[in-house]
Amino acid sequence: MSRLSWRAKGRLLALLGFRRYAACLKFGNGLVLRFPPWSKRIEVNLRRVRSFQGLATSAADVHRHRDALAALHADIQATIALFAAVPSPPILDEVELPLLETLGRLSAAGRGVLLAAPHYGNLWLCAKALDHAGIPLACVLNDPAPYRWGETPTLRVLPRRGSSRACLDVLRRNRCVLLTADMSFGAAAPRRPFFGHPVLSPRDVVRLSALAGSPILPVCAVRRGGRWSFECRVEIDPRSAGRDTMEEALLRSMERFVAADPSQWLLLHGAWR
């Protein structure tokens, strides 16, 4: 997406207002997500999570799930455009950061912190809230172009491919790196169970942690009522666990995040490939 198009979105957002703009996006996304391949992938993801929990999934469940993901996708797109129009919008006040205490404790060790998340909730909004709270970090994204408008001197956006050296540099300066770990791009990684079905293990995240000596902090952006909460699990330390143990721990943490509310798991790609 070009810079001009995102600037145009930002101007439209300023004219319509954030909520109305998000409502327009929700309508459009609701239509898009009804067509393959997205509709089928959404259904497969939901059925595998529910099957793992011992629950059946009806057609009505799939429809409600798809509508919830359309609303979430619209919220994320509107947030991207909002930061193109307003550097520090009031929406930042809608984000709670209960992970700050844990993040402060880990940062005190001086080894940097890897924030590993599933494609869950409005991660970009939570990343901006961390930056607003004075936490320097880099976000690793599959397609970083739409997010460039949100960069600041303390918030960098990096591409998923070819950014390992840049991530190591960020971690060695005792900063944070936020990346998603529920879809691995490393074809050489072993397969491990995720909701009872084999997936490529998040080996790239664990390898980066081992190289930098930085702990992995499993995190998740969770909507609670009308607010977002950026939450974490227990950290995974490369000094006290082997790579296999770390990969298992990270997958189990993501399972718990997703199982709590699959309607916030916005993975439109095939996790199980």
Predicted local confidence at residue 187, as pLDDT: 63
The pTM score is 0.90
Predicted local confidence at residue 254, as pLDDT: 96
Place of tokens 């990343």: 127
| DSSP designation for 190 | P
Confirm if 212 and 112 have CB atoms less than 8 A apart. yes
Tens digits of residue pLDDT in 11-33: 676 666 767 777 777 777 777 78
Question: Out of 156-160, 195-199, 222-226, which region has the weakest mean confidence (pLDDT)?
Answer: 222-226
d(CA 152, CA 88): 11
Place of tokens 């984000």: 95
d(CA 232, CA 98): 8
95-96: strand order across its sheet: 95-96, 227-232, 216-224, 113-117, 176-180, 137-141, 155-159
Question: Beta strand pairing status for 95-96 and 227-232?
Answer: parallel
Provide the 3-class DSSP secondary structure of residue 51.
Answer: helix
Question: Out of 16-20, 80-84, 161-165, which region has the weakest mean confidence (pLDDT)?
Answer: 16-20
Query: How much is the mean pLDDT over the chain?
Result: 88
d(CA 254, CA 120): 9
List CB contacts of 122: < 8 A, sequence separation 6 or more. 72, 75, 76, 79, 221, 223, 228
Averaged pLDDT for residues 48-62: 95
Confirm if 122 and 222 have CB atoms less than 8 A apart. no
Structural Rg of the chain based on CA atoms: 18
Residues 61-87, buried b or exposed e (16+ Cβ, 10 A)?
A: beeebbbbbbbbbbbbbbbbbbbbbee
> Which is more confidently placed, 23 or 167?
167
Q: Where are the domains of the chain?
A: 1-86, 91-267
Structure tokens, 69? 């993901």
- How many Cβ atoms from other residues are within 10 Å of residue 100's Cβ? 15
Tens digits of residue pLDDT in 86-141: 778 888 888 999 999 999 999 999 999 999 999 999 999 999 999 999 999 999 99
Structure tokens, 133? 């709270």
On the CB side of 56, how many CA atoms lie within 13 Å of its CA? 3
